[in-house]
Structure 1
Amino acid sequence: MALFAAVFGAALLLGCPETEAPGEVSGCRRDTDCKGDRICEAGACVAPRPAVASTTPASATVVGTSLWSRGGPGRPYQALGTGPEGQPRIVWDLDLGAVVFASPTLVTVGGELLALVGTHAGRFVGVVVEGTRAGQVVLDMNLGGMVWATAAAADGRAYVGGDDDTLYAIDLATKQVAWGLKVGNCGESRAPGPEGARCDADGGPTIAADGDLYLGADGVYRVGRDGKIRWHYPADPELKAKHVFGAPLVAGDGNVYVGGQDGLILSLRSGDGTLRWTYNVRADVDGGPAMGEDGNLYIGADDGRLYALRSDGSLRWSFVAQKDIRSAAAVAASGAVYVGSFDGNLYALASNGDVKWVLPTGGRIAASPVLDAAGTIYVGSQDDHLYAVSPKGRVLWSLELPGDIDSSVAITDGGVLVVGCDDGHLRALK
C-alpha cells in the first residue's frame, strides 16, 4: 500500500501545472506573515532571538563571502553540466553491498573521471563514471567504521571520515591510506546514542583555498594536509563538545560557519578558531550551511526552520516547515533557495524568505537538492524516487529506485547523474 501511494503520488506530481505560490495556510507559516521585525514561532508572531556575540565584536562588513566552499552533500554552486531533460536511463548500476548515504564526489585520476563514495559497511570505492570502463571499480578499500560522510578530493588525495572517529587521507595514485587522524576525546567506548556518535568524523571535510581541511566531529577541527591539527573548537580538551554532523562552510573572507547538535550556529575565525558569534536555535543543527551571493547564510535545523542569517550573526528571516530540515539548502544564481524537509516537501523560497512554491513527495527528504547548469533541481526522497524539478516547481521526471534516496546526486560536465541509494547501489543516469 505504501508503494502504491508513493507511485500514485508521483504520477499526480508529473501532471501538476507550474506554480509560483503555495496553497493557503492558517496562522503564520513564515516571517513575512508577521509585522515589523517579528518572526513566526510555532504559528505565532514573536520578537526574534538575538545573536550572542563573542567577546571580540564581529565586523559587519562583507568581503569576499560569496566565494565559499563546503564539503558534504550537495554542492556550493550550480553544476556545469545539464542533466537529462527526459526520463533518464540507467547507464551502469553497481552493488556496493550496504547503504550509500554519502554523496558521490567526482575527481579525475589518470585521465578518468571517478566517483568516490563510502558505505555504511565502511567500504570506500572509486568508480569510473564515463568512457569504456564506465561502472568499473578502480579503488576499493575498507575503512575502520561506517561512512556517512561525503569525501573531499584535491591534489591527488581523497579525504573522508568514518564512525571510528578517524579522518582518512587516501592517495589516489597508490590507493593507500596516506595518514589517518583520530579525533575527539571519546576513547574506545562506543556507547549507543549521542555520546557514542559525538566524535564521529562525518561533518565534511571541507577543503579551503589554502588546502587545509575543516572537519565536523566533536566540535570543529582545522587540519593541515599533513594530518596535523592546527586548532580545535572548543579549545578546552576536557570539554565534551557536542557533535557536528554538517560540513563546515569556509567563506572567502576567512570565516568559518557551522551548526551543531548543541543547537548553536557558529562563526569562527579560520586563523585561530576563535569565536566570532553564535546564534542559538535551541534545536539540533544537522545540515550544512549555504551562502548566497549577498553573504547571507542559510541553514536548517530540527525545529523545522530554515534560518537566513547576516554575516554578523543577526537574523534576517526564518522559514517554518512542518518537520525537521536536516539537509543543506541549494542557492541558485537567481537568489532562489531550495530546501527539503522531513515533512516530505521540497520548498522554493525567494531571497527575502517568501515562498515561491511547495512540491510534496511521498516521503521524508534527507538529501540536499542539487542544481544543474539549466537550474533544474534534483533531489531524492524516502518515497524511493529521484525527482528532477524545474525552477518553477514542475516535475520534469521522477525515477523510482528500490530504496530511500538520501544521497545527493553528483552531476558531471557531460550531464551524467551519479546517485547512491539505501539498497546499497551506486547508479549513473543519463
Structure 2
Amino acid sequence: MSIWRVVNISGVFVTVAAVGIALSGCETLVDRPETAQEITASDFNHLSAANSGLDIVQVPPTVFAPEEIRTTVEIETDGQGEKVITQKERVQKNADGTEKVINLSAATEEILVKPGVKWTIESLVGQINGRPVYAGKFMTSIEDRILRIVKENSPAAAKQMIEKLIQERFQQYINNELIISEAEGMLSPEMKAGIFAWIQSLQEQTVAGNGGNRTSASQSIEEQFGMNMEQYMQEKRDEALAMDLLRRRVEPRTIVSWRDVERQYSMLEKEFNPEPIITIGRIQLSVSDELQIQSLQERFKRGETFAQVAAALNVPDGGKWQVYPLPKNGVAGLPLAENIIKVLLAVENGQVAEELRKGSTATWYCVTNVQGQANRSIFDSSLQRSIRRGLKEQRSTFERNRYLASLRDKWVTNDIDQMTGRLIVIAWDRYLPKE
C-alpha cells in the first residue's frame, strides 16, 4: 500500500508519492493518481518573481551549537607542594566564531602538600569568651594575602610582612569576636525573634534584587563576596549586632558640649585664622652690565610689571625672593635690612622700589603679593560642625578602645601576645619556603 502526501510548493499543490518515487525521473512501481506530477530536485530551486531579489543565506552552525562547560585548572608549585586553582566557565559560541565566557562561580583553591612536608591543619591557640580560636580558621581569611606576600618578596621580607599582617588582623579578629559575643549575650527572646525576622526580610530583598531567583542571588553573592547565602546573612547579622552594641555602649560617652567646642576653637584659633602672607620679589644685576640695567629701567618706565620684567630677564622662580607672615605693623615689621624696608615703604604693593646699589650689584625689590585669609569666627556654622565632628571621632575612638579593653580583661582567658605568637609561628611554618 502506498502513502501519499500533498506538498505546497510556491503556491502549486503537487501530490508526491512518499514511497516508490525516483527523483531522477524513473517511473514509479505502483499505481498513481491522475493528478500526480513528476518532480526533480531542481524544481525546488526556482524562485518566484516576487522573491527573485532575495539572497539565500546560510546560518552558521555555531549559532545552534550547545553551550560548553569548561573547567580551567592552574597549578602553582613551591617548595612545600602544589596549589591547584580550579575555575568553571560557561562558553557560548558567537556567530562570528568568537567565544563568550561566563564564570559560573568563584575559583576554588586546593593545596596539595608533598609527601614528608609538615602542614599544620588545625591548632588551638587560645580562647575568646569561651570560644576556641583555631589557627586553621583564622588563616583561611588571610591566606590569599599571605601567599601573595610570599610570592612577591624575599623570604626575610615576607617573614616580617606576615608577622605584621597577623598582628593587625588578629587584633581585629579579637575585637569582632568580643563584640559579637557580648551582643549575643544581651539578646532577649523578643530581640532574637526580631533579628530573625529582619534576616528573613533582608534575604527576601536580596533575592528580589536578583530577579526573584534564589539560585541567581546565591551565585551573585558568591561572585562578589566569596561566600554563600547563609554565610552572607550571618555576616550581616553580626554587623548589625556589633553596630547596635557600640551604639548603646559607646555613643552616650561621645557627646560634645558647647564648652568643648569653645575650648577646641581657642586651641586652634591660629589655624582657623592664619596670618596673611607677604611675598617679596627681587631682581639683581651686576653693575658692570650697564646695557642690561638701562634696558631694565626703560622697561619699568614703560609700565611693565615686576613679573613681566623678571620673565623677560629669565630670573629664576619669577623673581620670588622671600615669603613671610605679615606682621600687624605691615612691611615695617619684616625681618629685612633697614634700607630694604625703607624703599619698600616708599611705594605701594605691586610697585617696584627704587634701585639699591651695594658693592658690585644693583637690586630692585617689590611686594609681589599679599595673601590674606578670611577670618573664621566660632559662630561659623560650618566650622562648628567640623569641630564637633572631629571631637566626636576622637572620643568615639577613645571610648571604643576603652570598652574593648574592658571586654578583653573580662573574657580573654589567654594572653593575646602568646596567641599572636603562636599564629605567627604556624604561618611561618606553613607558608614560607623551606631552606
Range into which the TM-score falls when normalised by the shorter chain = under 0.3
Question: Relative CO higher for 1 or 2, CA cutoff 8 Å, sep ≥ 6?
Answer: 1
Structure with higher helix content: 2
Q: TM-score, normalised by structure 2?
A: 0.16
**Larger relative strand fraction:** 1
